[in-house]
Every structure is written in structure tokens, then in C-alpha cells.
A = this chain, B = another copy of it.
Amino acid sequence: MNGPAVWVDGQASETVTALDRGLHYGEGVFETIACLNGRARFLSLHLQRLALGCRRLGVPLPPGLRAELERVAGEGSRSIVKALLTRGAGSARGYRRGAERGTCVIIRYPWPEEAEPRAGARVRIASVRLGENPALAGLKHCNRLEQILAANEADGAEADEALMLSSAGQLIGGTMTNVFLIDGPSGRWRVRTPEIRTCGVAGVMRQVLMREAARAGLAVEACALGLEDLEGAREVILTNARVGLWPVSALPGRALGPGPLTERLQRLLQPLLEAPADE
């Protein structure tokens, strides 16, 4: 399995119509799903967010999507499966919706080499900020120019990830990750993550970490955070569906060592990440 394998509306196909509103307007939603041992990890959570995005943005949710993703995941042992749903081929020009029936693109990528466990993420702060729109906040929609500009900033070559602020200056998350800050005196740790209210993506791994931490008696607070909170953090963790937990080893101007709470959270999530159950 070298290049990606692609299915469009259930058929092996490399192409979509050039009239697709996904291509014209980014009118769609997507999920990036880690598949291990032939199983799609956290599939139910991915499907939940997809359904929410479809409802809020008027994108048709194809029936049988779960079965198709399970089948595609089952055909390889380790892979990254992307599900991309758009409004579909436009019946007319312009922003008003017509009788579109949606397009479903499933892509299976080889598991990337760089997704192996790594020492720690070197993080910078992006210059580009995130526009605020509560109607889009939380969703993994296909309007991603801000993240692309942030990820490709000229000074970004040395960093693994760029953290982004909202236009109002709040810390939101990385271009492809959510972020958790750990501080407080020893024994009375505090774990916080930016609230996703006006912008940003509410990641599946963010949700899993918050759920598992709560089950272990360790509450994670989602709240308004700024750069000063990042500067005051003892430990910083990035999360996404592919990498799982990704400890930060370097912030602008300072290095961070491996931290005790990060290690505790890693131990907590390791079983779920390695042997995916239905959830």
C-alpha cells in the first residue's frame, strides 16, 4: 500500500466533479481517523462530530458510512482514513443551496513514518490568527485557509506545530491539534484546555482525554486562556486523532522536560490508543 486509495460515493474512483461545492466553497466536513489492527479508532466519536457538522452546515450524511469506514479500515492493518463529505455537485451557480445530494470521499493513506512516538513537539506561535464565528466553531469543516497560512509561515520550518490565537487574542489550539496546559503547585495540579466557543476544532482526542481524565478523578477545565497561561504552564500537551498525546518539549524561549502529569495521562490513554475498542 504505497499511495492513497480513494472511493467516491462508495465506488473506487480518483475524481470528483469539478462542479462540486466542496471544491468551490469548501462546503464540507471531514474526519481523519487512525486505524490500527484493521479497526477505526474512536469511530463513534468521529461519526458523531461528522453528523453534527453535517446538520449545522447542511451537508448530506450518507447512509452506510459507518459500515464503509469499517470495511476500509479492515482492509489494512495500520492506516489513516479520511472521510470527506461535501454538499455535492452544484445545480446552479452561487451560494444558495439547490437539490445537491452530497459527495462522500473516503481516502485511505499509508500510516505515516513520522507518526511514530517521538520525543516531544517543538511549538511556535503562529502570526496568523483565527477569525471568530460561533456558527463554525468546533466543527472540522473544509474552510481551512487560516490553518494552512499558519502551518506554512516562513519562520515555521523548525517547529512541529504552530499554536493559534483567536482574533481577540485567546489561545485556541494548534493548526492540527488541541492543546492542554498543566500548572499549579505539586500535588494540586490543574489541567486546562481552551474553550472552543468562537473558533477552533473540538478534536476527538481532546474529548477522549477529557473523558478519561474525568473518569480517573482528574478534571480538565475548558476555559478562556491566553498566551500568559501558556507561558505559565509547567507541562503542555498537544492532542490529535493520529498522534494521540504529544508532549511539548519546546515553547518559544524555553524547553519543557517530561512532566509527571503528562506521563500519567499517557499511561491512562495508552490502552485505548493501542488496542481500539468500539470506543
* Chain A, range 92-139, C-beta contacts under 8 Å to B: 93-97, 105, 107, 109, 112, 128-133, 135-136
Closest B residue by C-beta to A25 = B144
A93 touches which one: B8, B22, B82, B135 (CB < 8 A)? B82
Q: How far is the CA of A53 from the CA of B142 in the complex (A)?
A: 18
Q: How far is the CB of A122 from chain B (nearest CB, A)?
A: 15
Give the oligomeric copy count: 2
CB-based contact B148/A145 at 8 Å: no
* CA gap between A15 and B109 in the complex, in Å: 22
Judge whether A163 is part of the interface by a CB distance below 8 angstroms: no
Residue of B19, B57, B151 near A95 (CB, 8 A) is B151
Interface residues on A, range: 35 or more
B94 touches A176 (CB 8 A): yes
A8 to B198 CA separation, bound complex (whole angstroms): 37
Is the beta-carbon distance between A96 and B142 smaller than 8 angstroms? no
Q: Residue of B at shortest CB range from A87?
A: B148
Complex CA–CA separation, A223 to B147 (angstroms): 29
Give complex CA distance A16, B15 in Å.
Answer: 5
Contact call B23/A25, Cβ cutoff below 8 A: no
